[in-house]
Amino acid sequence: MKRNGKKIVIVGGGIAGLSAAVYALKCGYEVEVLEMHDMAGGLAMSWHRGSYTFETCLHWLIGSKPGGEFNEVWKELVDLDTLTFVNPHEFVRIETEDGDSLRVYTNADMLEAELLRRAPDDIAAIEDFIHAIRTLGKFRLLDPSGGLADNWLNMLRDIPVLPLLMKLGKMSGKEYGARFADPLLRGFFSTGDMGKLTAIAMVLSLAWMNEKDAGYCIGGSQALIRLFEEKIRELGGAIRFDARVERIVVEHNCAIGVLLKGGEAIPADWVISAADGHATIYDMLEGQYVDETTRKIYAESETFASYLQVSLGIARDLRDQPPMLTRVLGSPVSVDPETEHTHVGFRFFHFDPTFAPTGKTAVTSILPTRNYRYWENLRSQEPQSYRAEKARVADSVIHVLEGHLPGIREAIEVTDVSTPATVIRYTGNWKGSQEGWLMPPGGGIKPFPNTLPNLDRFFLIGQWIMPGGGLPSGPMTARPAIKAICKRDHLPFDVQPEIHRLEPAEV
């Protein structure tokens, strides 16, 4: 690769930072990614405990379908075809303690039949919902780095779905759920943060699942991250671990490099922060470049909640279980002094053979909370109580699981609990948020500004400028930043897609 003599320093080795690195390397820049943790991925993370691997991030990856539209964006960066995707036909099963249950299928025909069987009185709302899933499968995301010239074809294709998008975009999940009389169906749309998001979020996700374009890749999110790391190395880029950026160095309102914890200065022609937005703006840049737009975003927009994750290594083959299960409880589980849940979800990773030895299953449960301060304070000030509280929550979650699988406690051989304090420590995300900003009704699908007023040679990327977050926010925000940098440097943004190079397996 011919280098152009200019260097880009990227703060943060999550999916956004890694995406920017590949784009920049392909455009001829020297690239150094600085990651504070000892491995890449940020929120796209899993960890090993004994013979089990516990995934936190990946439920579905938009763009998993070969030939699909977002697939082409991933393929500009890595050879996605080397990953193996699975598309479970059941998305989630929701069940009450007295045995009532609703199966949410990923296939629209199966979902329609199941919903009509369960809730025939909701026929009008069900037909409307299924129509939306089928219609939105044809929706083409616009390229935020492109103008009219790059987007006109997708805009033209989107015209038939625009009225539906606009209608759903104005409604919250809770409002959408209220159209159904069936309590489980209603709860599916309105529980937790899902109820606050625009209804587009869930309907679009189901639409992409129906198209088999939102699969799960074997190995979880780290399998994807490893592809990026390999690509960066292959293109001659550098990722430095245990490299925490404390300050972005600015001279005459121009970013000229970064200062690491420990005092090392790293000069650069351009600085991109793919780290937490709040820490970048208010700590690394000391709040020097905050205008009314930025102030308002950080003062008024709502973030996704943080979460505890209870992970269980279970010495039992649980392939007869759905991939995801939500238990609706008569009395709530208490998470912390401000948080309790009547809906507790489980993921049975029996579909990923890399996560547990044969005959055993990795199981996780995510418990959202906004009370991140409680967990941070407990961890730093009362470590014994912190451990005791984690054990108490794990015990409650196991108790809920026993309601579904009597006697399962005896088969649990590994229990692991992470908290919002863990999320903050390992990823630096503000308030321990799991995906950045909520995508509220009426907000549209558009990113926040990727520059700061009066600060030159600097870009922000990642989930903190793309409400709704998710792994696709990585390439979607990295691409416009590198494209703009190329334009300023009078260089072509010429990114060739990856060609699938795997030899056919020998028979």
**Residues in contact with ligand FAD by the rule CB under 6 A:** 11-17, 34-37, 42-44, 56-61, 244-245, 274-276, 279, 307, 366, 427-429, 434-435, 462-463, 469-471, 473-474
Contact 362, 313 (CB under 8 A): yes
Q: Which is nearer to ligand FAD, 119 or 204 (CB)?
A: 204
Kind of pairing between the strands at 30-34 and 238-240: parallel
Contact 14, 45 (CB under 8 A): no
The 10 Å Cβ neighbour count of residue 400 is: 18
Write out the E strands in 111-179: none
Q: Which is nearer to ligand FAD, 178 or 259 (CB)?
A: 259
Torsion of CA 493, 19, 64, 141, to 10 degrees: -60
**Distance between CA atoms of 252 and 492, rounded to whole angstroms?**
28
Q: Shortest gap between Cβ of 484 and ligand FAD (angstroms)?
A: 18
Enter the tokens of residue 132: 């939306």
**Distance between CA atoms of 265 and 277, rounded to whole angstroms?**
21
Q: Which is nearer to ligand FAD, 182 or 352 (CB)?
A: 352
Q: Which is nearer to ligand FAD, 126 or 243 (CB)?
A: 243
CA angle 340, 471, 28 (to 5 degrees): 150
Q: Shortest gap between Cβ of 189 and ligand FAD (angstroms)?
A: 18
Q: Which is nearer to ligand FAD, 97 or 230 (CB)?
A: 230
Contact 105, 89 (CB under 8 A): yes
Contact 307, 367 (CB under 8 A): yes
Contact 20, 478 (CB under 8 A): yes
Q: Which is nearer to ligand FAD, 136 or 478 (CB)?
A: 478
Q: Which is nearer to ligand FAD, 277 or 441 (CB)?
A: 277
> What sign does the dihedral 173-174-178-184 (CA atoms) show?
positive
Q: Which is nearer to ligand FAD, 187 or 447 (CB)?
A: 447
Length of the chain measured in residues: 507
The 10 Å Cβ neighbour count of residue 336 is: 20
Q: Which is nearer to ligand FAD, 172 or 306 (CB)?
A: 306
Q: Which is nearer to ligand FAD, 120 or 449 (CB)?
A: 449
Q: Shortest gap between Cβ of 271 and ligand FAD (angstroms)?
A: 12
Residue type present at position 309: Q
**Distance between CA atoms of 501 and 234, rounded to whole angstroms?**
14
Residues ≥6 apart with Cβ < 8 Å to 391: 417
**Distance between CA atoms of 255 and 273, rounded to whole angstroms?**
11
Q: Shortest gap between Cβ of 163 and ligand FAD (angstroms)?
A: 27
Q: Which is nearer to ligand FAD, 322 or 470 (CB)?
A: 470
Q: Shortest gap between Cβ of 306 and ligand FAD (angstroms)?
A: 9
Q: Shortest gap between Cβ of 423 and ligand FAD (angstroms)?
A: 7
Residue type present at position 394: A
Kindly give the residue spans of alpha helices, DSSP state H, lying in 405-490: 420-427, 473-488
Q: Which is nearer to ligand FAD, 394 or 478 (CB)?
A: 478
Q: Shortest gap between Cβ of 214 and ligand FAD (angstroms)?
A: 8
Q: Shortest gap between Cβ of 221 and ligand FAD (angstroms)?
A: 7
141 three-class SS: coil
Q: Shortest gap between Cβ of 194 and ligand FAD (angstroms)?
A: 13
**Distance between CA atoms of 369 and 338, rounded to whole angstroms?**
8
The 10 Å Cβ neighbour count of residue 197 is: 24
Q: Shortest gap between Cβ of 229 and ligand FAD (angstroms)?
A: 12
Closest CA to 402 of 185, 336, 322, 394: 394
Q: Shortest gap between Cβ of 232 and ligand FAD (angstroms)?
A: 14
Enter the tokens of residue 122: 């909701």
**Distance between CA atoms of 266 and 86, rounded to whole angstroms?**
42
Q: Shortest gap between Cβ of 455 and ligand FAD (angstroms)?
A: 17
Residue type present at position 480: P
